[in-house]
Structure 1
Amino acid sequence: MITDGFSYLALLMAIAASIVFAEKKTKAKIFAYLPAIVIIYFVVMLFSTFGLWQKSESITATYKTFKSDLLPAMIFLMLLHADIREIIKLGKKMLLTFLLASVSIAIGFIGMFTLFHSSFASDSWKAFAALSGSWMGGTGNMVAIQGALDLPDAALGYTLLIDSVDYAVWVMVLLALVPFAKRFNAWSKADTSVIDKVGKHLALKDAQRKAITFPSLFLLLGSALLVSAFSQYAGALLPTTDFLTMTTWVVIIATVAGILFAMTPVARLSGSSELASIMLYLIVALIASRANFAELTEAPLYIVAGFVIIAIHAIIMIFFAKTFRLDLFSLGVASLANIGGVASAPILASAYSKALIPIGVLMAMMGYILGTFGGLMVGKVLEIIAA
């Protein structure tokens, strides 16, 4: 049994690195259904369930220190490619479609929780708030909200379970709808000429991105850690409430810093996405190390709740499509940019045309900006419903 903090951290990093390496090198079919980050969570949780490490003073201190220090650094790095100036160039219709997707997802969470909140535990609103952050942004937003709302580590297993099972089904549905795009666009009377123009512009810009270099990685790491230190210092000085805790302030400050620095030369340094991913995987492994499978007793109910949220989201988006004459590509990519993030939105975009892949990436980046704030707002509404 491991009782030393460094050994505990080294093992978690080795587990996470091995799974990511296996995903990239083996191309095993399991990774087509379960992303590496989900497998990392459940593998680490399995080791935790069998008691591979003990919650000693050294391990607890290591857990708290690394989780609190890495979270704002990860948020900052994650947002460096989310340049608002580039996002605006997507055009009014695509921005509107993305925002409508975000709003419909928020309504889906509120509608589902209004109907079924009595079937869940009293603090389940925190788990759904974290999931709403993921489904309006990405896993990084989910982890940010988990920290901001002090969601128990075990409960994050429910959000990741829904995020993998329900999301996988939704991706398959959206990909299956691609051949029906022309028929759908004729029904909604959508104009797709702007999409091709924006796609070509973004593809040209994406091709100019520089390769990763050691100096850029080093500078980005130093900047991220400095932002983390500043966020925690400033967060401790700001007033708090039951909802707006110090950790919430730290998340907000790091998010604002990332948005602002995305418009500076720092954003042009290569490697921020890779560093952010390493930090995210380690944070998820740390969270999983405090959970165990015995605590996941309501998994089927949470999965059903996730499908209810998606169903409400889909119905509202179809209504919006007819009202605002939206095309199926914009609808699908906006939905997946919210629910799936940067890992899956480009896949759906490529199913329509390779030239449209950058649109999927940029929409997902917009989700990184809005996901944390959107998830916190949804969480506040869910907390009121649960009261």
Structure 2
Amino acid sequence: MRLDKASDIEREIEIAKLKKALLAKQKATTPEETNAYAEGVMGEMLTVKQANAWVQEALKRPDPKMLFGSLWYEGEVGILFASNNLGKSILAVQIAEGVARGQATLPLPVTATPKKVLYIDCELSDKQFQIRYTAGNQVYRFSDNFLRAEINRKKLLEGYSMTELVLRAIESHIRQHQVEVIILDNISALRNDLEKTTDAGDLMMGLQQFQDEHEISILLLAHTPKVQSNQPITDNHLAGSKMLMNLTDSAFTIGCSQQDSGMRYIKQIKVRNSDKRYDAENVIVCEIRKENAFLGFHFLAYEAERHHLQQTGANTRDEELSLVRQMMKDGYSQRQMVEKMSISLGKVNKLVKLIADQDREEAVKRAA
């Protein structure tokens, strides 16, 4: 990050250039002078080099490191989107903590070194946040690299948009705290009218410019309209203009498994820095639970998304238990049950555990 005296000098140079350009414009009194000024400004809008030169210059810089496996890399503007109450904020805080510590989140590696993270929370109050990360007298201790912020709406200024004010505040804290990663929960805090292509485009290009200038990584959280339980999630489910998806570097989503109300799956929607690994045939199946006072996603399996969608004519829970019980008697493995019943391994495992619990309860009753 450019946070030293050299960066201040560069900033002063840019300001001087801008003043010089404005002065040239003021002095341009003839059409020829005005055209010369316009051509000079427009010419600087594009940096043109041979393709080989671009490649050679890029080779001198290190490849971007993983912040959340192949779902989000350093230097990217990424989007995490999902319907309400599926755990977007829970997963985002978990990702932030993993990046702050330089530790893997779920089975997804963090290859970057620990980074200073600023998590802008527009969803939870401080009390709600505290409740999520305490259990009785046990309090989870976050990394010191993890900074959380709330928007102070009493400080709104007339004549400035929420986007302008928040970005200026972020810039101030980037310099003050040497922040390297920003997570914004959620994007609607900056602008509500994201259905309009121009507004969505302006916002995303503004964030990309902001990201380039400060050499930071940004993750935006966004809502989706309610997704039909029998439909796979696609990029079309992201709420707002299509421009949001077009201008982001990476995108991933959370789906609700129809096999169990406590199960979720994470699906990769867009990727630029690697192959798409967690597509519809290989989603990351998890459950949400609190462990050691930390509410988070816990890995269960990699499975096809179709196993977690509503199936026409699906068996009831009692029917599934009966089928699994019979297959256990017949010596089926859990993998064979998955193939036979067309359900996920995670669900088979839960059914097997439930049958074991039922058998123990029945044994206790008989002994009493």
TM range (shorter): under 0.3
Q: Which of the two has higher C-alpha Rg? A: 2
Q: Normalized per residue, which structure has more helix?
A: 1
TM-score by length of 1: 0.23
Indicate the structure whose relative CO is greater, using CA pairs within 8 Å and at least 6 residues apart: 1
Q: Normalized per residue, which structure has more strand?
A: 2
